[in-house]
Amino acid sequence: MSIKNIRISLRHHRAAVSARQDMLRQLSVYTTPAEIEEMLAAVDGQDSPDADLMREVLGDKLARAYRDSARPAFGMHVAA
């Protein structure tokens, strides 16, 4: 791989990271599973790189929301 190809690859990687961070920022207002599922339904059937990224980010947020809701609140005792 040449230096030119490495630079191009790094440029593409940086653009992808920037796009994901921007998408995370835009979707940060959707926090509950219901809100996230509604947004997933809105992009269902859309075929574009932005829709794919949105589904990926929302899927991660949904998994995190469910994982966080399964954890006991800080300081609460859970009977065994």
Rounded CA gap, 31 and 4, in Å? 41
Is the Cα torsion angle 73, 76, 79, 80 positive or negative in sign? positive
pLDDT in the model for residue 71 = 72
Instruction: Domain ranges for the chain, please list them.
Output: 3-70
Q: How far apart, in Å, are the Cα atoms of 8 and each of 16, 20, 22, 50?
A: 12, 18, 21, 21
> In the prediction, which pLDDT does 1 show?
78
Per-residue pLDDT at 77 = 59
d(CA 19, CA 14): 9
pLDDT the model gives residue 48: 94
Could you tell me which residues come within 8 angstroms of residue 30 by beta carbon, excluding any fewer than 6 positions away? Answer: 36, 38, 39, 58, 61
**Per-residue pLDDT tens digits of the chain, which is 80 residues long:** 799 999 999 999 999 999 999 999 999 999 999 999 999 999 999 999 999 999 999 999 999 998 887 776 666 555 55
